Amino acid sequence: VYACEINDYLRELYIKNFKFNPKRIDRDIREINLDHVPRYDVLCAGFPCQPFSKAGTQSGFSHEIAGDMFYYILKFIKAHKPKYLFLENVPNLYRHNNEKTWKLEMKPRLERLGYDIEEEILSPIHFNIPQTRNRMYILGTNLKKTEEKIKWPVIPKTNNNSLRKLFINNPKKPRPLT
Taking the C-alpha atoms of residue 14 and residue 21, their distance in angstroms, rounded to an integer, is: 9
Of 49, 73, 90, 106, the catalytic one is: 49
Taking the C-alpha atoms of residue 52 and residue 91, their distance in angstroms, rounded to an integer, is: 9
Find the length of the chain.
178
For every one of its 178 residues, what pLDDT tens digit does the chain have, with 9 covering 90 and above? Answer: 899 999 999 999 989 998 888 888 999 999 999 999 999 999 999 999 999 999 988 999 999 999 999 999 999 999 999 999 999 999 999 999 999 999 999 999 999 999 999 999 999 888 888 888 999 999 999 989 988 988 888 887 765 556 566 667 777 888 887 7
Among this protein's residues, is 49 annotated catalytic? yes
Longest dimension (CA), the chain: 61
The pLDDT assigned to 147 comes to 86
Strand, coil or helix: what is 70? helix
The pLDDT assigned to 38 comes to 93
Strand, coil or helix: what is 141? strand
The pLDDT assigned to 178 comes to 76
Taking the C-alpha atoms of residue 96 and residue 98, their distance in angstroms, rounded to an integer, is: 6
The residues that bridge with 119 in the sheet, in sequence order, are 138
What's the predicted TM-score (pTM) here?
A: 0.84
